[in-house]
A and B are shown apart, each in its own frame.
Chain A
């Protein structure tokens, strides 16, 4: 149980294009999902908190117009990197907090490696 998937696992795109990453909770509902960014050999940096049916909350320094987040259902959140540039290349990981959980438990997806040429 508690499986989170991400698609795609790896994407290469040209500078200036937009890329959409999907995050799905496969066997549970998640009112809240999170998007993280991880640089090589570094810790996870929270980018935004996504709540189903409402606007995402972005961390300080994260451009909301560049990283568009949509949480349309209790099992799906999407992150769109708009007008991607090489500095956006990174490992993007989502996590989901089960609606039924009594703790702040988060389950992570396998991550998406984005490379912008």
Chain B
């Protein structure tokens, strides 16, 4: 089955700096890779996603890159703000709409 590894588990950055979170997946059949942001006590919120026919996708300060050959994808947040502080999860699909999630990265943006 699909296995998704996510690094780092915690990340602290100064406000205004960039943050990068990386994930690897094992199933070469996976073709959909979403990223979710989860604030304390709330459900995950989809922030960006990418399909395997695209190498990069950007939405304002957030971008995702995908290397299908190496089976890894990354989330890039530029000009970080305190409200970006949260836990971020990557995921990869494994058929029938099911997703396998990484273990999460707790991002802290220090003002």
Contact = CB atoms under 8 A, between A and B. Distances in A.
B101 A103 contact: no
Contacts of A113: 41
Interface string A95-117: 10100000111111111010000
Interface stretch (B14-22, B77-85, B89-97): B89-97
In which size bucket is the chain B interface?
A: 20 to 34
A93 B43 contact: yes
A87 B33 CA distance: 32
Contacts of A42: 103-104
The CB with the most chain A CB atoms within 10 A, among B43, B44, B45, B99, is that of B43
Q: Could you say which interface size class chain A belongs to? A: 20 to 34
Given A32-B97, A104-B93, 20 more contacts: A4-B43, A34-B97, A34-B98, A34-B99, A42-B103, A42-B104, A43-B89, A44-B44, A44-B89, A46-B99, A93-B43, A104-B32, A104-B97, A105-B49, A107-B46, A108-B36, A108-B45, A110-B43, A111-B41, A113-B41
Interface of B: 32, 34, 36, 41-46, 49, 51, 89, 93, 96-104
